[in-house]
Chains A and B, each alone.
Chain A
Amino acid sequence: MFMEMLYIGMALFLLLTLVAGLWRILRGPTAADRMLAAQLFGTTAVACLLLLAQALEQPPLRDVALVFALLAVVAAVAFVRRAWVADRETEE
């Protein structure tokens, strides 16, 4: 029973750090800062899902975490390769 409470409590704690990190997305001076915050969110969500998988005894949740880990890089690479235009304008 203690272990389940620990898992859920940890998941709640991670969720709270995630909500705190939203501040950086709203504020972030450059586009890169916003994208980095989204990257941290992905990792936090993976940890959260792994904890929930253990606490709720639902092994499929580990597969959801696996998909998160796989696709976390897609959005970030799309950002670096394609969408990072705002900062270039300031330089030229």
Chain B
Amino acid sequence: MEALTQLQLAFDAVLGLALLWLAWQTLASPELFRAIVLFIAFGLLMALAWVRLEAPDVALAEAAIGAGLTGALLLTALSRLEPKNKSKIPHSKKPESEVDE
């Protein structure tokens, strides 16, 4: 029993820390696309957190809304935003490299 409780405690601790860190990174990210992907990841982990709080119904709603639909809506909104930024600063963006290391 003891070891099982400790394992669950470790799971909850990792989950909580990851959630806090993700929330901070999402808010602090200067790049919109990165913030959206981090938000989707946040939704996934939040659903797991609701599961650990023994609220499967809220987890179901979080999975459907937080991770699935809001992510798609935010991505669509971003694609509507992008052309405006591009016309303002035409060639300031330097090409990103596809291969690292």
Contacts and interface: CB of A to CB of B under 8 A. Distances in A.
A–B proximity contact (CB within 8 A): yes
Interface of A: 1, 4-5, 8-9, 11-12, 15-16, 18-19, 22, 25-27, 29-31, 34-35, 37-38, 41-42, 45, 48-49, 52, 58, 60-61, 63-64, 67-68, 70-72, 74-75, 77-79, 82-83, 85-87, 89-90
Classify the secondary structure of B's interface with A: helix
Contacts of A41: 40-41, 44
A5 B7 CA distance: 7
Contacts of A25: 34, 37-38, 41
Contacts of A1: 1, 4
Report the interface size class on chain B.
Answer: 35 or more
